[in-house]
Structure 1
Amino acid sequence: MSLDQIDRSLLDALTEDGRASYAALGSRVGLSAPAVKRRVDRLVESGVISGFTVVVDPHHRGWTTEAYVEVHCQGTISPRVLREAFLQVPQVHAAATVSGAADAILHLVAEDVRDLESALEQIRVGAASVSQTETSIVLSRLIHDRHGVAGD
Protein backbone atom coordinates (compact mmCIF):
# COMPACT_ATOMS: atom_id res chain seq x y z
CA MET A 1 0.00 0.00 0.00
CA SER A 2 1.29 3.40 -0.93
CA LEU A 3 0.94 6.09 1.74
CA ASP A 4 0.16 9.67 0.81
CA GLN A 5 0.99 12.73 2.92
CA ILE A 6 -2.38 12.62 4.70
CA ASP A 7 -1.78 8.98 5.68
CA ARG A 8 1.67 9.89 7.01
CA SER A 9 0.25 12.83 8.98
CA LEU A 10 -2.50 10.61 10.33
CA LEU A 11 0.03 7.99 11.42
CA ASP A 12 2.12 10.68 13.13
CA ALA A 13 -0.96 11.95 14.97
CA LEU A 14 -2.00 8.44 16.04
CA THR A 15 1.53 7.69 17.19
CA GLU A 16 1.48 10.76 19.41
CA ASP A 17 -2.03 10.12 20.75
CA GLY A 18 -3.63 6.78 19.92
CA ARG A 19 -6.76 7.79 21.84
CA ALA A 20 -7.47 10.94 19.85
CA SER A 21 -11.00 11.15 18.45
CA TYR A 22 -11.60 10.97 14.72
CA ALA A 23 -12.70 14.61 14.91
CA ALA A 24 -9.46 15.68 16.60
CA LEU A 25 -7.41 13.70 14.10
CA GLY A 26 -9.45 15.19 11.26
CA SER A 27 -8.79 18.75 12.37
CA ARG A 28 -5.10 17.96 12.50
CA VAL A 29 -4.90 16.41 9.02
CA GLY A 30 -7.63 18.44 7.30
CA LEU A 31 -10.33 15.78 6.93
CA SER A 32 -13.78 15.13 8.35
CA ALA A 33 -14.16 12.57 11.14
CA PRO A 34 -15.86 10.01 8.81
CA ALA A 35 -13.03 10.40 6.27
CA VAL A 36 -10.45 9.83 9.04
CA LYS A 37 -12.31 6.70 10.17
CA ARG A 38 -12.30 5.33 6.61
CA ARG A 39 -8.55 6.00 6.32
CA VAL A 40 -7.78 4.42 9.70
CA ASP A 41 -9.89 1.37 8.78
CA ARG A 42 -8.01 1.09 5.46
CA LEU A 43 -4.64 1.40 7.25
CA VAL A 44 -5.67 -1.37 9.66
CA GLU A 45 -7.03 -3.65 6.91
CA SER A 46 -3.87 -3.26 4.83
CA GLY A 47 -1.61 -4.02 7.81
CA VAL A 48 0.04 -0.60 8.00
CA ILE A 49 -1.45 -0.29 11.49
CA SER A 50 -1.03 -3.64 13.20
CA GLY A 51 -2.90 -2.79 16.38
CA PHE A 52 -3.61 -0.38 19.17
CA THR A 53 -2.19 -0.78 22.64
CA VAL A 54 -1.69 0.85 25.99
CA VAL A 55 1.89 1.63 27.00
CA VAL A 56 2.33 1.67 30.76
CA ASP A 57 5.36 3.31 32.32
CA PRO A 58 7.12 0.38 34.05
CA HIS A 59 7.95 2.55 37.05
CA HIS A 60 4.24 2.80 37.87
CA ARG A 61 4.17 -0.99 38.15
CA GLY A 62 7.12 -0.96 40.53
CA TRP A 63 9.59 -2.08 37.85
CA THR A 64 12.40 0.41 38.45
CA THR A 65 15.42 -1.33 36.92
CA GLU A 66 16.09 -1.31 33.18
CA ALA A 67 18.95 -2.90 31.30
CA TYR A 68 20.13 -3.65 27.80
CA VAL A 69 21.68 -7.07 27.39
CA GLU A 70 23.88 -8.30 24.57
CA VAL A 71 23.44 -12.03 24.08
CA HIS A 72 26.29 -14.06 22.58
CA CYS A 73 25.63 -17.61 21.37
CA GLN A 74 27.79 -20.61 20.53
CA GLY A 75 27.39 -21.89 17.01
CA THR A 76 24.31 -21.17 14.97
CA ILE A 77 20.90 -20.68 16.53
CA SER A 78 17.75 -19.67 14.74
CA PRO A 79 15.94 -16.46 15.62
CA ARG A 80 12.81 -18.56 16.26
CA VAL A 81 14.59 -20.57 18.97
CA LEU A 82 15.93 -17.41 20.59
CA ARG A 83 12.51 -15.78 20.45
CA GLU A 84 10.88 -18.75 22.14
CA ALA A 85 13.51 -18.73 24.89
CA PHE A 86 13.21 -14.97 25.45
CA LEU A 87 9.40 -15.13 25.58
CA GLN A 88 9.75 -17.31 28.69
CA VAL A 89 11.37 -14.42 30.60
CA PRO A 90 8.73 -11.89 31.69
CA GLN A 91 11.32 -9.15 32.21
CA VAL A 92 12.22 -9.15 28.49
CA HIS A 93 10.47 -6.05 27.18
CA ALA A 94 11.93 -6.22 23.64
CA ALA A 95 14.37 -8.44 21.75
CA ALA A 96 16.08 -8.31 18.38
CA THR A 97 18.78 -10.16 16.50
CA VAL A 98 21.62 -7.83 15.56
CA SER A 99 24.74 -7.63 13.44
CA GLY A 100 28.13 -7.34 15.08
CA ALA A 101 29.69 -9.35 17.89
CA ALA A 102 26.43 -10.08 19.73
CA ASP A 103 23.75 -12.34 18.29
CA ALA A 104 20.85 -10.54 19.96
CA ILE A 105 20.10 -7.56 22.14
CA LEU A 106 17.41 -7.44 24.80
CA HIS A 107 15.71 -4.63 26.68
CA LEU A 108 14.83 -5.82 30.18
CA VAL A 109 12.61 -4.12 32.72
CA ALA A 110 12.77 -5.58 36.22
CA GLU A 111 11.55 -4.79 39.72
CA ASP A 112 15.08 -4.36 41.09
CA VAL A 113 18.63 -5.63 40.60
CA ARG A 114 17.82 -8.98 42.21
CA ASP A 115 14.93 -9.47 39.77
CA LEU A 116 17.26 -8.47 36.90
CA GLU A 117 19.79 -11.05 38.06
CA SER A 118 17.09 -13.72 38.06
CA ALA A 119 16.06 -12.77 34.54
CA LEU A 120 19.66 -12.94 33.32
CA GLU A 121 19.99 -16.43 34.77
CA GLN A 122 16.80 -17.48 32.96
CA ILE A 123 18.20 -16.09 29.71
CA ARG A 124 21.51 -17.93 30.11
CA VAL A 125 19.77 -21.22 30.87
CA GLY A 126 16.74 -20.83 28.58
CA ALA A 127 18.55 -21.05 25.27
CA ALA A 128 21.17 -23.77 25.52
CA SER A 129 23.53 -22.05 23.11
CA VAL A 130 23.83 -18.77 25.08
CA SER A 131 27.50 -18.57 26.00
CA GLN A 132 27.73 -15.06 27.40
CA THR A 133 25.71 -11.96 28.18
CA GLU A 134 26.89 -8.39 28.59
CA THR A 135 24.57 -6.18 30.61
CA SER A 136 24.32 -2.40 30.74
CA ILE A 137 21.98 -1.06 33.42
CA VAL A 138 20.09 2.09 32.47
CA LEU A 139 20.87 5.03 34.75
CA SER A 140 18.39 7.46 33.19
CA ARG A 141 16.25 7.48 30.06
CA LEU A 142 16.93 10.58 27.99
CA ILE A 143 14.43 9.93 25.22
CA HIS A 144 11.84 7.22 25.64
CA ASP A 145 10.36 7.39 22.16
CA ARG A 146 10.80 9.50 19.10
CA HIS A 147 8.06 11.90 20.16
CA GLY A 148 8.96 12.69 23.73
CA VAL A 149 11.59 13.34 26.30
CA ALA A 150 11.62 11.19 29.40
CA GLY A 151 10.84 13.00 32.58
CA ASP A 152 12.52 10.54 34.91
Structure 2
Amino acid sequence: MKMDEIDKNILKLLQEDGRMSYSEIARRIGVPESTVRLRVKRLIEEGIIRKFAALINPFKAGYTIVAFIAVDIEPNK
Protein backbone atom coordinates (compact mmCIF):
# COMPACT_ATOMS: atom_id res chain seq x y z
CA MET A 1 0.00 0.00 0.00
CA LYS A 2 1.30 3.42 -0.91
CA MET A 3 0.74 6.00 1.81
CA ASP A 4 0.24 9.67 1.05
CA GLU A 5 0.61 12.72 3.30
CA ILE A 6 -2.91 12.32 4.68
CA ASP A 7 -2.14 8.77 5.82
CA LYS A 8 1.16 9.88 7.33
CA ASN A 9 -0.50 12.76 9.18
CA ILE A 10 -3.20 10.46 10.55
CA LEU A 11 -0.55 8.03 11.78
CA LYS A 12 1.46 10.82 13.38
CA LEU A 13 -1.55 12.10 15.31
CA LEU A 14 -2.60 8.61 16.41
CA GLN A 15 0.94 7.89 17.61
CA GLU A 16 0.78 11.05 19.72
CA ASP A 17 -2.70 10.21 21.07
CA GLY A 18 -4.27 6.88 20.12
CA ARG A 19 -7.58 8.00 21.62
CA MET A 20 -7.89 11.12 19.48
CA SER A 21 -11.31 11.23 17.83
CA TYR A 22 -11.71 11.03 14.08
CA SER A 23 -13.37 14.46 14.15
CA GLU A 24 -10.35 15.97 15.94
CA ILE A 25 -7.92 14.33 13.49
CA ALA A 26 -10.02 15.62 10.59
CA ARG A 27 -10.03 19.14 12.02
CA ARG A 28 -6.27 19.15 12.52
CA ILE A 29 -5.34 17.93 9.05
CA GLY A 30 -8.17 19.64 7.17
CA VAL A 31 -10.08 16.71 5.69
CA PRO A 32 -13.62 15.39 6.24
CA GLU A 33 -14.17 13.02 9.16
CA SER A 34 -15.37 10.35 6.70
CA THR A 35 -11.95 10.48 5.03
CA VAL A 36 -10.20 9.87 8.35
CA ARG A 37 -12.57 7.00 9.17
CA LEU A 38 -11.97 5.29 5.82
CA ARG A 39 -8.21 5.86 5.93
CA VAL A 40 -7.87 4.42 9.45
CA LYS A 41 -9.97 1.40 8.43
CA ARG A 42 -7.68 0.82 5.44
CA LEU A 43 -4.52 1.28 7.54
CA ILE A 44 -5.82 -1.38 9.94
CA GLU A 45 -6.80 -3.77 7.12
CA GLU A 46 -3.37 -3.37 5.49
CA GLY A 47 -1.64 -4.13 8.79
CA ILE A 48 0.03 -0.74 9.05
CA ILE A 49 -1.90 -0.07 12.26
CA ARG A 50 -1.58 -3.32 14.20
CA LYS A 51 -3.42 -2.31 17.35
CA PHE A 52 -4.28 0.51 19.70
CA ALA A 53 -2.71 0.11 23.13
CA ALA A 54 -2.10 1.98 26.36
CA LEU A 55 1.47 3.00 27.15
CA ILE A 56 1.83 2.68 30.91
CA ASN A 57 4.31 4.09 33.37
CA PRO A 58 5.61 0.82 34.91
CA PHE A 59 6.75 2.47 38.14
CA LYS A 60 3.39 4.13 38.78
CA ALA A 61 1.70 0.82 37.96
CA GLY A 62 3.63 -0.82 40.79
CA TYR A 63 6.40 -2.54 38.85
CA THR A 64 9.82 -2.10 40.44
CA ILE A 65 11.99 -3.50 37.66
CA VAL A 66 11.91 -2.80 33.95
CA ALA A 67 14.05 -4.95 31.66
CA PHE A 68 14.66 -4.65 27.96
CA ILE A 69 16.02 -7.85 26.46
CA ALA A 70 17.48 -8.22 22.98
CA VAL A 71 17.87 -11.63 21.40
CA ASP A 72 19.92 -12.19 18.26
CA ILE A 73 19.31 -15.55 16.59
CA GLU A 74 20.17 -17.10 13.28
CA PRO A 75 17.33 -18.52 11.19
CA ASN A 76 16.97 -22.33 11.21
CA LYS A 77 19.23 -22.79 14.26
TM-score range with shorter-chain normalisation?
0.7 to 0.9
Q: What's 1:27 paired with?
A: 27
Q: What's 1:50 paired with?
A: 50
CA distance, structure 1, for counterparts of residue 53 and residue 25 of structure 2: 18
Q: What's 1:11 paired with?
A: 11
Structure 1 residues without counterparts, runs of 5 or longer: 69-94, 104-152
TM-score (norm 1): 0.44
Give the alignment's Cα RMSD to 1 decimal: 1.6
**Shift of residue 63 of structure 1?**
1.1
CA distance, structure 2, for counterparts of residue 30 and residue 64 of structure 1: 44
Q: What's 1:116 paired with?
A: none
Contact 2:18 2:52 in 1 (8 A): yes
CA distance, structure 1, for counterparts of residue 70 and residue 27 of structure 2: 37
Structure 2 residues without counterparts, runs of 5 or longer: none
- Describe how 1:67-146 pairs up with structure 2 within 5 A: 67-68=67-68, 95-98=69-72
**Shift of residue 26 of structure 1?**
0.5
Q: What's 2:39 paired with?
A: 39
- Structure number with the bigger relative contact order (C-alpha 8 A, sep ≥ 6) is 1
CA distance, structure 2, for counterparts of residue 37 and residue 15 of structure 1: 16
Flag the structure with higher strand content.
1
CA distance, structure 2, for counterparts of residue 11 and residue 22 of structure 1: 12
**Shift of residue 64 of structure 1?**
2.8
Residue 71 of structure 2 aligns with an amino acid whose one-letter code is T
Contact 2:58 2:66 in 1 (8 A): no
CA distance, structure 2, for counterparts of residue 96 and residue 40 of structure 1: 31
CA distance, structure 1, for counterparts of residue 67 and residue 61 of structure 2: 16
**Shift of residue 62 of structure 1?**
1.1
**Shift of residue 55 of structure 1?**
1.6
| Fraction of identical pairs, as percent | 38
